[in-house]
Amino acid sequence: MSIVLLCGILYGTLRAAMLLFAPVNRFANALLAALIAVLALYTAPYIIGFAGYYDAYPWLSFAPYNLSLAVGPLIYLYVGAVCKVNWKAPRRWPLHLLPALMQLLYYSCVFAQSLAFKNNWDSEVHRPYLEPVETLVLMVSLASYFLLAWRQFRKSGNSAHEWLRNVLVALGLTVCSWVILIVAEFALSGLSYFQRFPFYLWLAMLVCYLGTEGYRHGAIVVPVAEPAVPVPLATTPESGSKPVKTVVADTGNLAQLAERWRATMIAEQWWRDPGLDLANLARLLGTNTSTLSRALNEGLGVSFNDMINRIRVDAVVVELVRQPDAPVLDIAMAEGFNSKASFNRAFKLYTGTTPTQFRLDALLQTGVSTSG
């Protein structure tokens, strides 16, 4: 049990350390690394406990491993830093971690005392009085901060943060499991190390997951949409109404941006992936779906589906001539189409004919030019 927990915690902690070296999103990555470290520390007593270290070294009791009051604030601050919602007073963010700092000071002070004092303090003061208060505050903190974090995520409205939804779901399940564990502790007058093991195994898995997802997305810059600049139009003399505001878009920059992204997609051959959609392409390009969609629509005058299907059809056209004996559907599937119906529809739309007829015409033209 100890080794299983240790392996999960070490892997997640290593990923957290790697997060700190990402060239962008430094503040958000530091918050996630801190969250992973807090969860790892909270699991540490069970790693050394299952290994028998508390029996061999009883002075380890009250070691400052428990910083659980930092979990809720770190979730909330991390989501806020990623989504950049309601981030108006960054100087005040440390106040959210003040309860966790008090928790650290408390355990550090008691840990520094003699073993006899700690044993007496645990039985006379900590367990009967302080632990229930700490537990109640923890339950309120976890529930409140998670709801605030979820609200920030929903308010962001940016589908480039969809991966964050999965992280929040995992954290939400953790909060629910944590509350259930606390309720079971009081209902059953305490649980043994072995009865608590499934929850701490889940924490080790969560640390691995947060480390992996955080590292995967830690270097992706998600631009925040800037407010459009309204330009007043002239008042019509007939109506005498107030000027109507409209938005002037810099289509030149959008066209350059869209063309660069299109060239990157072609160079990387991402269009061959039949599962590629707007959200996946935005993630690969390090942008968000709203910016990508706007760049394509206003910059190039096409939608994502129009662009990707046209690229795939062009590739199929080349292969139909280059491989005259290859099955048409095999070529279409190799170029990213995921069904015969969608391929035939797109091919007819962009070429005006069917794939079979196109190949026949191409072969006839080749034969005529050769004979001539």
Secondary structure string (H, E, C) spanning the chain:
CHHHHHHHHHHHHHHHHHHCCCCCCHHHHHHHHHHHHHHHHHHHHHHHHHCCHHHHCHHHCCCCCCCHHHHHHHHHHHHHHHHCCCCCCHHHHHHHHHHHHHHHHHHHHHHCCCHHHHHHHHHHHHHHHHHHHHHHHHHHHHHHHHHHHHHHHHHHCCHHHHHHHHHHHHHHHHHHHHHHHHHHHHHCCCCCHHHHHHHHHHHHHHHHHHHHHHHHHCCCCCCCCCCCCEEECCCCCCCCCCCCEEECCCHHHHHHHHHHHHHHHHHHCHHHCCCCCHHHHHHHHCCCHHHHHHHHHHHHCCCHHHHHHHHHHHHHHHHHHHCCCCCHHHHHHHCCCCCHHHHHHHHHHHHCCCHHHHHHHHHHHHHHHHHC
**pLDDT, tens digit, 9 for 90 and up, residues 256-284:** 888 888 888 888 888 888 888 888 888 88
pLDDT digits (tens, 9 = 90+) for 304-360: 888 999 999 999 998 888 888 889 988 998 899 988 888 999 998 888 889 888 888
Burial class of residue 70, CB neighbours in 10 A (0-12, 13-18, 19+): buried
Give me the mean pLDDT over the 46-71 stretch.
91
Q: Supply the pLDDT for residue 35.
A: 95
- pLDDT category, 251, cuts 50, 70, 90? very low
**Residues 10-24: tens digit of each pLDDT:** 998 998 898 888 766
150-154, 195-199, 213-217: least confident range: 213-217
- Give Dmax (Cα) for the chain: 105
Q: Output the pTM of the full model.
A: 0.62
Closest to 35 (Cα-Cα) out of 92, 65, 75:
75
- Provide the token pair at 270: 């991402």
Return the pLDDT at 162. Answer: 67
CA–CA dist 182, 84 (Å, integer): 33
Q: What is the mean pLDDT of residues 35-39?
A: 95
pLDDT tens readout for residues 206-230: 999 999 888 877 765 554 444 333 3
Mean pLDDT of 114-136: 94
Report whether pLDDT(235) > 80.
no
Give residue 84's region: left, alpha or beta (phi > 0; psi -120 to 50).
left
Q: What percent of the chain has pLDDT over 90?
A: 37
So what's the pLDDT on residue 286? Answer: 81
pLDDT of amino acid 34: 95
pLDDT over 70, % of the chain = 84
Checking if the pLDDT of 51 tops 90, the result is no
One-letter amino acid for residue 188 of the chain:
L
CB atoms within 10 A of CB 332: 25
pLDDT band at 366 (very low <50, low <70, confident <90, very high): low
Question: What pLDDT band is residue 90 in, cutting at 50, 70 and 90?
Answer: low
Q: State the helix-helix crossing angle for 304-322 and 251-268, rounded to 10 degrees.
A: 40
In this structure, are residues 302 and 296 in contact, taking their beta carbons and an 8 Å threshold?
yes
Whether residue 71 has pLDDT greater than 70? yes
What average pLDDT does the segment 230-257 reach?
47
Tokens at residue 44, please?
A: 């540490």
Please give the pLDDT value at position 161: 62
Q: What does the pLDDT read at residue 23?
A: 67
Q: Mean pLDDT of all residues in the chain?
A: 82
Q: Which two three-digit tokens encode residue 296?
A: 């394509």
